[in-house]
Chain A
Amino acid sequence: MATRSKSTIQAHQGRWLHRFAVVTAASTWVLIWAGGLVTSTGSGLSVPDWPLSYGMLMPPMVGGILYEHGHRMVATSVGMLTTVLAIWLWRSEPRQWVRRLGVAALAMVITQGVLGGITVIFLLPTPISVTHATLAQTFFCVVVLLAFATSREWKTAASMTDRGRLSLRTVALIATGTIYLQLILGATVRHTGAALAIPDFPLAFGGLVPPLETAPVAIHFAHRMFALVVLGALGWLVSRIWREHSSDTRFTRPAIVLSCLVVVQVLLGGTIVWTSRAVFPATAHVAMGALLLATSWLLTLRAFIHLTPEAAPSMSSMSVAENRGLS
């Protein structure tokens, strides 16, 4: 009886831990919006000092300070949420890798804060700003993984056979990898001021290939070209899901979301050019990119926990956890 109550309490705590991890992940997405707003409004240096703002904890929220200090405030909140999550995982999570991932998330959010400070103090050096943007997406993936790893779906996953010459795991991983690389390219476009280096869309200087004479044009064009690679990878992933898992909503739903998001993302990219980099589309392009990455990452994780490649040893000889490749 006592054991049963204990397991009930643990299950209850587990649900709340999962909810808390979901809130942390959602807050991280809000933080990515806030960070995108700082760049889109050109407010990155409106607060010249760090970690304080004009020597204060709370400066007047006027002009560019609203965006820069607002970003710092949201970042502090996400930092606190991550701290609580890491401690909570450390104290209650039986899986060592999840506990360690919680600590890694905490280390990442601290590093991210310091990078943000360095980028302000050293007047937005491009490599640091791009690293800051890339680490933001990486951290988002980590908290999404933590939120998913603490879910009931993960804990009760039963493996099915993954058919096909390349496993769905591999295809999903390739899709997620291409989106991640595209986000790094996108961050480079933003932080080198190349967003309007090609002034028309979908053509480039009226043609298919622009004169690649300057670095901003080359960076911008690389981002556009790599978008085609991402489209190809996502098309491959979605078609595989439709062919082999059309009745499994765990795969079809994220696939539908991915398909919609990628259309929105391309339109937002075009809108940035058409509106001469208006604040909303420029910021939404960053946030939608993050959502695209997270959705593809979620699909990848689902492929890892629910599917076993056909050539792998039989399920009976291995535990489900071992088959997940993440235990």
Chain B
Amino acid sequence: MIKQVLTVLFTLALVGCGGGEEATTSSPAKSSTPAPPPVDSATAGSIIGTAVLEGDAPEQKTVQMGADPVCAKMHTSPVQTEFVVANADGTLANVFVYVKDGLGGRKFPTPSEAVVLDQNGCTYHPHVFGIMVGQELSVVNSDDTLHNIHAMPEKNPQFNIGQPIKGLTTKKTFELPEVMVPFKCDVHKWMNSYAGVLDHPYFGVTGTTGLFEIGNLPPGDYVVEAWHETLGAQTQNVTVGEKETKEISFSFKASE
């Protein structure tokens, strides 16, 4: 309510100053190229693969949860940081892999089911996830302590909301594609999470085995990007034929 009042006051002040920029509108140029055909599942292929880490994985640190005794009591064993989660064989978790280019002007329906971001044990679950533009994000507080959810996108509006009680759920959506949107809790500074917001459903996140899969992909030439929160991003050109399952691998160099 206070924010709304302040926003109205700010807007009035700006209008009063006469400094408002007039939006330049123009009719969008009509494209001469025909819209690409819808995805035919009979011919669709897929991309599967792994993300691996070259070199030694940095030693993960134990998260110090002493700032909130409720958080500390929820864990019987130490909680490790998730900056680089790699297995002994080098496979890498928490890599967001998505089709960056090649889908043309196809439009995809927004899924009706919500993506859940759970605050449980004073950590975010999942740590990295994908979501479509307009799809509901349901942020849940499963802890006996309070959290604030501070989303820090650059293209979408930022938000910062409080969840003081266990069981509270807040629903949010993103209106623009953005890779990635960071989330953090300013109360518990170790808590962070990342969302890849896309206008299509062709994305995946490597799990604990380092594997990902992007299915039901129409045949075509694509640019596929793999993003990791500390190791950066890299792209590959991938051609997918009819009913073809293309296998690719992304290799990230461990930081010196």
Contacts and interface: CB of A to CB of B under 8 A. Distances in A.
Interface of A: 41-51, 54-56, 59-60, 62-66, 68, 117-118, 121-123
Contact of A63 (B6, B162, B187): B187
A43 B67 CA distance: 13
A152 to B, nearest CB: 45
B67 A121 contact: no
B2 A46 contact: no
B145 interface: yes
Given A63-B68, A117-B2, A46 B186 contact: yes
A320 to B, nearest CB: 45
A62 B67 contact: yes
B150 interface: yes
A207 B70 CA distance: 48
Contacts of B2: 50-51, 117, 121
A62 B68 contact: yes
Given A47-B162, A121-B3, A60 B145 contact: yes
B161 A48 contact: yes
A216 B159 CA distance: 24
B20 interface: no
Interface in B142-157: 145-146, 148, 150
A118 B187 contact: no
Interface string B59-77: 0000000011110000000
Contacts of B146: 54, 59-60, 62, 65
Contact of B145 (A44, A62, A121): A62
Contacts of A65: 146, 187
B154 to A, nearest CB: 13
A64 B189 CA distance: 8
Interface in B26-84: 67-70
Contact of B186 (A44, A51, A60, A122): A44
Given A48-B148, A64-B187, A54 B164 contact: yes
A43 B189 CA distance: 9
B87 interface: no
Contacts of B239: none
Interface of B: 2-3, 6, 67-70, 145-146, 148, 150, 158-162, 164, 185-189
Contact of B189 (A59, A63, A117, A122): A63
Contacts, number: 66
Contacts of A45: 148, 150, 160, 186
Nearest to B160: A48
B188 A63 contact: yes
Given A46-B187, A49-B162, A122-B6, 5 more contacts: A59-B164, A60-B146, A62-B145, A63-B189, A123-B158
A45 B68 CA distance: 17
Given A45-B150, A54-B146, A121-B6, A62 B162 contact: no
23 contacts: A42-B186, A44-B186, A45-B150, A45-B160, A46-B186, A47-B148, A48-B148, A48-B150, A48-B162, A50-B2, A51-B2, A54-B146, A54-B162, A55-B164, A62-B70, A62-B146, A63-B185, A63-B189, A64-B186, A64-B187, A64-B188, A64-B189, A123-B150
B53 to A, nearest CB: 25
A30 B202 CA distance: 54
What 6 pairs across the A-B complex have the smallest Cβ distances?
A: A46-B186, A63-B187, A54-B164, A62-B68, A48-B160, A48-B162
Contacts of B185: 63
* A46, A59, A63, A64 — most chain B CB neighbours (10 Å): A63
A68 B2 CA distance: 19
* B69, B146, B158, B186 — most chain A CB neighbours (10 Å): B186
A26 B159 CA distance: 36
Contacts of B145: 60, 62
A43 B186 contact: yes
A66 B188 CA distance: 11
Nearest to B4: A121
Contacts of B189: 41-42, 63-64
